[in-house]
Structure 1
């Protein structure tokens, strides 16, 4: 069999049996019979996952019993014809490989914000790359809203669209987040929606089931945990910096210096002192949280008060020692996303919603 596997054939008579409508690479890559996640093949006729490729494997048995001949190795991304055992090399299958593992050149990444062309799924529906719906799996909407929010942070998105940026990182959470980011922004998906199933599996493992499927959680707590965990997995050993640090953290200047004419020091007791800090520069992205939920001994109560906030041009010049700069007027469309539903909306409607968390992008001069 191994000798046969070394053979390759550019023409395969069974390529017309490939059914792209049944392919779903968002699911966890495990054998549907044995449950193994090693050396898994996907049947391109029925979409099911099977272990192996050898003569005693489940994929080999399935090819004989069901008559399904074309498979892809989910790890090597190579196509094979079973039970014959030869590798299939055909450019017509490249779109399947790109859906399994989307790839972005750095030139493509830099043009994502300017190219607003809609894509068409196999079922005829249209979707906008980066604005696709996310499947919810048993109370995981807190994950979906967090992911959709972080997809709007351009430097973070650009970093995870290129796997070379984190190829040396051993964290499964980092790699699953990068894979999910690439699928959300991929323009050649077979469906107009993405399932974060593998990302959720990595979240449950990394958080020791603090955040899990079938259990509601606070999206603000999940956002804080996710950013801190990604930062801890990505930060360099020497500088302690990461893309998370670059996007969301700023240095605080401690001006607790006597005799500089500006310091305020209030000694509370002999062991503690009250210090004043000031922000020397703004972070690229600012996250604001409205605390709407409070718990007591009986239930969780929500505060539905509407908070007036600017949809654009949040002015913070009075709080930092920076010179004034002109706003960068860019016209952007706004979309309301709730799991699988994506609809275009108006800024006035967004300002009237019961906002829970906001992310502001600093405008460059």
Structure 2
């Protein structure tokens, strides 16, 4: 439509210019030849010659008729053009084939949908396709687009839209529908039914990757791109929490993916990653968290990066708060609170003025919490008779005395006691191992002894009833404060076995080894009576 409107406007503009020239030369009689033509197919129109001042009114009338005819012809041409376009669009919409000779050229072992959906040439994130032969990402599929040119240059003809999972053959540009492509579409964007979600924790069958390696869905390694082991352990930990896992999958349980929705970027990319970790039909026995890492770097304003190791507990707090914020306007707005939110009562006693001691009447305050921080004191030392090695050790119950409502915590400004008022469904405990002194970061290597099952917190809450928890996740730190690494122990609820996961390495471990690790973050699940 805009093309023909421009032609009409050009004719009118030239006509007005002609009339202005006639007005300036009205005392003379000139014959002005002006070949004003509008290209409309092979038709050409010419404005008749203007002879003298006496014929000016007649010429103006003729011009009005000419304008009307030009507009009418232009709109008729536009309607014909629109009809042709609609026919072409309809033909393209209906250009769907169930057979394609190039399906056999697809190379599944080269496909990797874990990376950010950006064109490898333009770095654009709109309308991106993956070549199913070489695995590279290209933008567009129309003429002169990167995917179209790639198909001509390399004879790679099969492409999948990374946003709606439709498969096309280029450069012929028709959609291919074939049952043999379903596994590729499922790997791009797995979709789970409610029954499948309910059975994830009871699934005890192994799957086979394309390279022949068997893996357990849900217990797969994550790539360490550089120094993102602190991110990997948090992702692995949150994947073990059934309520969070199932609801975050439902939040984005669709094939159609938003291109780049900054408002829900973390939640949707975390959802996609969780779906791939639990995918029983994965082409590989591992997953890359690249997309989620990019989102974390972007939304945290580089507070967390892949080039420098950070504190997992800070990342966990930031990640849960961001997911809570992004889901605030959805049906899942209370997801984080339902899983992790508890409440602690704090009694604060202020120092007496000009006297020794604290006031007898405290200030009482109730505060919500997502995780509880346990302070590791200087522990008793036990000597090994054979190697003479000092082994610092503390039982978990000694650290939990902080929340019994009796143990005091003093400093020059106040005295405080803590009492748990409400415990969440999933309890996160943080052992404070790292402290900054005047010069460097120190690590407390104390081993915290803890039970794997039936952790009873009855004595730390006012409810008075038995509250028992089973351990789901144990994140531990190995090495020095500056050069250490993080790994995680996770429980397989299907057969009550334990796995140790450190980036891509997965090994089955005995439960006895878990309790002697340098635990840093633990997640317990409450046992419903």
> Under a length normalisation based on structure 2, what TM-score does the superposition of the two structures give?
0.63
Distance in 1 separating the partners of 2:156 and 2:444 = 56
Q: SS in structure 2 opposite 1:279?
A: strand
Tell me the CA shift for residue 295 of structure 1: 2.6
> How far is 1:151 from its partner?
1.0
Alpha-carbon contact 1:71-1:79 (below 8 Å) kept = yes
Counterpart of 2:308?
Answer: 215
Runs of 4+ in 1 over 6 A off after TM superposition: 165-169, 325-330
| Contact persistence 2:497–2:508 (CA under 8 A) | yes
Residue 132 of structure 1: how far off its partner (Å): 0.5
After superposition, the Cα gap between the structure-2 partners of 1:265 and 1:361, relative to the gap in structure 1 and judged at 3 Å, is closer
Deviations 1:83-118 (A, max 9, x none): 111100001101101100011011110011112111
Deviation of 1:250 after TM superposition, in Å, equals 2.2
- Equivalence for 2:40: none
Whichever structure has more helix as a proportion of its residues is 2
Residue segments in structure 1 that go unaligned for 5+ positions in a row: 255-263
Residues 228-237 or 54-63, more deviating: 228-237
Would the aligned equivalents of 2:457 and 2:468 in 1 still touch at CA under 8 Å? no
2:275 maps to which residue?
182
Bigger Rg, structure 1 or 2: 2
Name the CA distance, whole Å, in 2 between partners of 1:67 and 1:121: 28
1:185 and 1:11, CA in 2 relative to 1: closer, same or farther beyond 3 A? Answer: same
Question: What is the alpha-carbon distance in structure 2 between the residues aligned to residue 59 and residue 241 of structure 1?
Answer: 40
1:224-243 Cα distance to aligned partner (Å, 9 max, x none):
11111111222359x99521
Matches within 5 A, 1:292-303: 292-303=433-444
1:364 aligned counterpart, secondary structure: coil
TM-score normalized by the length of structure 1: 0.90
Q: Aligned partners of 1:32, 1:101: CA distance in 2, in Å?
A: 20
Residue 314 (structure 1) aligns with? 455
**Higher relative contact order, chain-length normalized (CA < 8 Å, sep 6+):** 1
For residues 175 and 86 of structure 1, do their structure 2 counterparts lie closer, same or farther at Cα, with a shift above 3 Å needed? Answer: same
Alignment of 1:219-234 (within 5 A): 219-234=312-327
Report the Cα offset of residue 346 of structure 1: 1.2
Shift of 1:279: 3.2
- Are 1:67 and 2:155 matched, yes or no? yes
Specify the SS of the correspondent of 2:427: strand
**What 5-or-longer segments of structure 2 have no aligned partner?**
1-87, 354-360, 367-418, 472-492
Q: Residue in 1 aligned with 2:520?
A: 356
Cα shift at 1:299 = 3.0
Partner of 1:324: 466
Cα RMSD over matched residues?
2.7
Q: Does 1:201 align with 2:201?
A: no
Whole-angstrom CA distance in 2 between matches of 1:44 and 1:2 = 25
Which is richer in strand?
A: 2
1:339 aligns with 2:503: yes
Match of 2:339 among 231, 240, 247: 247
43 and 2 in structure 1: CA distance in 2 versus 1, 3 angstrom threshold:
farther
